[in-house]
Chains A and B, each alone.
Chain A
Amino acid sequence: MGFDFNISLFIESIPYLINGAKYTILFSIISILFGIVIGLFASLMKISKNPIFKIIGNTYIEVIRGTPLLLHIMIAYYGLAAFNIKLDYFTAGVLALSINSGAYCGEIFRAGIESIEKGQMEAARSVGMSYGQAMRFIIIPQAIKRVIPPLTNEFVAMLKDSSLLSIIAVPELLRNARQLMGTKANVWSPFLGAALIYLVLTLPLTRVASALERRFSKGGV
């Protein structure tokens, strides 16, 4: 068969691939938003002085980062179904991706928070702020700018890794490409189409990231 790229098949496949890309984008955006919220709590637990919180935060982050996303997706879909918790592919997909990205976001936030100079927390405490107030008004606002680049990387990874959702039949970009391969009996046209669309999605994100960084930059920090 060899390199069977066919320009007309390629063009023909684009609309169907874009349909898949809509799912890729939707899953990624929803999951990163949940992931950010989960990650913020996970990081605060991990750096907390309370040993129970610390253990919970640490265990969550280590277990998730030490196991493959494909496994998380299967557990959310098939594993929970074994307990009669039957999630549709949408819910199972968002659940798996959110919990997975929560762990990575958690590490990103922890690093961001710990990169803020110790004197900032001390000064905040010295004027009578509680630990929570110091975190909320002094540390986290300064950490936000520093976590934007790694969060962007995390989002790019999510756009690509959501292709693993094809295992539970989510009609996302790569699954649609694979289907086209079957129906059109052609390998290279749909796959190069999928590659092109992934690049169109991921390449502009670095620009968005630097715009966001400027937006959140105050006082040069």
Chain B
Amino acid sequence: MEYKNGILHVRNLYKKFEGVEVLKNINFDLNEKEVLVILGPSGAGKSTLIRCINRLEEPSSGEIIFNGEKIDKKTDYNKLREKIGMVFQKFNLFLHLTALQNITLPLKIVKRKSEEEANKIAIEYLTKVGLKDRANHYPIQLSGGEQQRVAIARALSLSPQIMLFDEPTSSIDIELIKDVLDVMKNLAKEGMTMIVVSHEMGFAKEVGDRIIFMDKGEIVEENEPEEFFKNPKTDRAKQFLSKIINI
């Protein structure tokens, strides 16, 4: 098969919202253990693109091949989503559950773990993101940075093959962003396959293996991070980078 090397392949992907094309002919591949960073101005279609991957959005046409298998109507989306973790801009922790329960509930329902096993796994991942002591706090009692780290732990606890990050630091107070980025950096170091939609240029440069730059629903440029920031190939990327201060 032509797709045996990469873990994820996107081919000719289009997405229309009420007649408006928000994704146009998207093509890219993702290899195992790779960190792909998607950059671009707001409204470029970055979030829509990664939401198509775990089928929170249904693409209008095109193909996504995951683990060598095409995702289509016959795919069990619930099983697919167990294997593709997602972290949201607004954290989306379950507000009526504690940090610990946010992790144990999916483990119990989706992975059919016992209470005891689920607790053990949850503590393990909370420790990993440095929040073991917040296990019994409700989301409202946690800072944005802490909520996001719990959300990352929740996604990781299901042992996904790919992690999708949808602007994970955009809703977080500036002084707390570093803690979240550190967790993500460690994850990358451990070899997690990641797609990160972000405005964190520092992270893209330091951790990213590859950059995809999007504008107006299209992939405008695909490049190595070093090259992308030093010598962007396209004018649109140059323009975008010139507007960003903290590189």
Contacts and interface: CB of A to CB of B under 8 A. Distances in A.
B130 interface: no
Interface stretch (B14-22, B33-41, B93-101): B93-101
Interface of A: 117, 119-120, 122-130, 133, 137-138, 141-142, 218-221
A19 B91 CA distance: 55
B146 interface: no
Contacts of B203: none
Contacts of B158: 127-128
Contacts of B138: 218-220
Interface of B: 54, 56, 77-79, 81-82, 85-86, 88, 90, 92-98, 105-106, 109-110, 138-141, 151, 154-155, 158
Contacts of A127: 81-82, 85, 106, 110, 154-155, 158
Contacts of A126: 54, 56, 81, 85-86, 88, 155
Nearest to A116: B95
A219 B82 contact: no
15 contacts: A117-B92, A119-B92, A120-B94, A122-B56, A123-B93, A127-B81, A127-B106, A128-B79, A133-B109, A218-B97, A218-B138, A219-B139, A220-B95, A220-B138, A221-B140
Contacts of B105: 137
Nearest to A122: B56
B95 A128 contact: no
Contact of A128 (B90, B110, B139): B110
A120 B138 CA distance: 15
A133 B111 CA distance: 13
B196 to A, nearest CB: 16
A141 B88 contact: no
Given A219-B140, A220-B138, A128 B97 contact: no
B94 A138 contact: yes
Contacts of A218: 96-97, 138
Contacts of B78: 125, 128-130
Contacts of A133: 109-110
A219 B78 CA distance: 27
Contact of A219 (B97, B110, B151): B97
Nearest to B87: A126
Residue of A117, A123, A124, A138 ringed by the most chain B CB atoms within 10 A: A123
Contacts of B151: 123
B94 A122 contact: no
